[in-house]
Amino acid sequence: MAMKVKHFGHVHERFTAPVSQRYDCGRMCAPLNGGEPVCCTTDNAVPVVERAEYKYLKKRTDLWRGFKPTDAASRQIVDELAPSCLAIECKGAAHCEREHRTVACRSFPFFPYFTKEKEIIGLSYYWTFEDRCWVISNLQIVEQEFVDQLIEAYVYIFEHDEDEEEAYIDQSASMRRVFSRSGRVIPIIGRDGKIYKILPKSGGKIIDANIEEFAALEPFTSDEAYREAIEEADGDPAGKTLSPDWSIKDWWNND
Ligand code: SF4
Ligand code: SF4
């Protein structure tokens, strides 16, 4: 079985919620990435889609085109794709059309997390982006509507595509291995809205947690660290802070 064009229509119509209505996270990571949001540049993340999703999008927009590898790493991504998949790229963040984003765009930086028992308990994130994606350092901003819609979208996709389900079961197992090896705790945003954690070398056991246990990661730990990282990325750190027009603290206090 595989997702068909009409199935992607079903998903695109229902999975529309942003990670957060309140925060434009792209403003926080773009200074680290030449002014473009990290997940919107193929230097960082090459969108991979099912051919049926590309067909669905091509009928509606000219935002997307096939991705042409520019170096050995991106050539490898393209070479290793399953025959049903395609690497694509959009015209860039300045031309983004929200209704024509891929499922991968809509989900980033999260994926449905499977327990060892192959049950979807909630979301976790693509950890290789921890050093560039501001959302990963601010999990408290993730809204329930986004969690609900992401889970619903993927459950639907898995009903139509067993390989896709297997890929996320593997992705979750891989996260457990990587985090266990480095002695790190995995944060999970539960589909019930609660926060859970998995301790290293615990056999994947899910236990209750508090969002406060998951501190921001470098370089989102302080304005100083943030500005240093912007400078290292050849950006202009002048005036850049982790709370430009709003304050997370105010948000916590107001809610
Ligand atoms: S999801 Fe992460 S990488 Fe993408 S725009 Fe937001 S902060 Fe940047
Ligand atoms: S379609 Fe929008 S969200 Fe997706 S990669 Fe392009 S600019 Fe980013």
pLDDT at 51: 95
How many domains does one find in the chain? 1
| Ligand number, closest to the Cα atom of 44 | 1
Q: What is the largest distance, in Å, between two alpha-carbon atoms of the chain?
A: 52
pLDDT at 252: 42
Does 40 sit in the ligand 2 pocket, CB within 6 Å? Answer: yes
Residue bearing the CA closest to ligand 2, atom 5: 40
pLDDT at 239: 87
Task: Specify the ligand 1 atom closest to the Cα of 129.
Answer: 3
Cα of 104 vs centre of ligand 1, distance in Å, is: 12
| Ligand number, closest to the Cα atom of 220 | 1
Cα of 199 vs centre of ligand 2, distance in Å, is: 34
Q: pLDDT 10s per residue in the chain (255 long)?
A: 889 999 999 999 999 999 998 888 999 999 999 999 999 998 888 889 999 999 999 999 999 999 999 888 888 888 989 888 999 999 999 999 999 999 999 999 999 999 999 999 999 999 999 999 999 999 999 999 999 999 999 999 999 999 999 999 999 999 999 999 999 999 999 999 999 999 999 999 999 999 999 999 999 999 999 999 999 999 999 989 997 554 444 444 444
Range of the domain at 168: 5-254
pLDDT at 1: 80
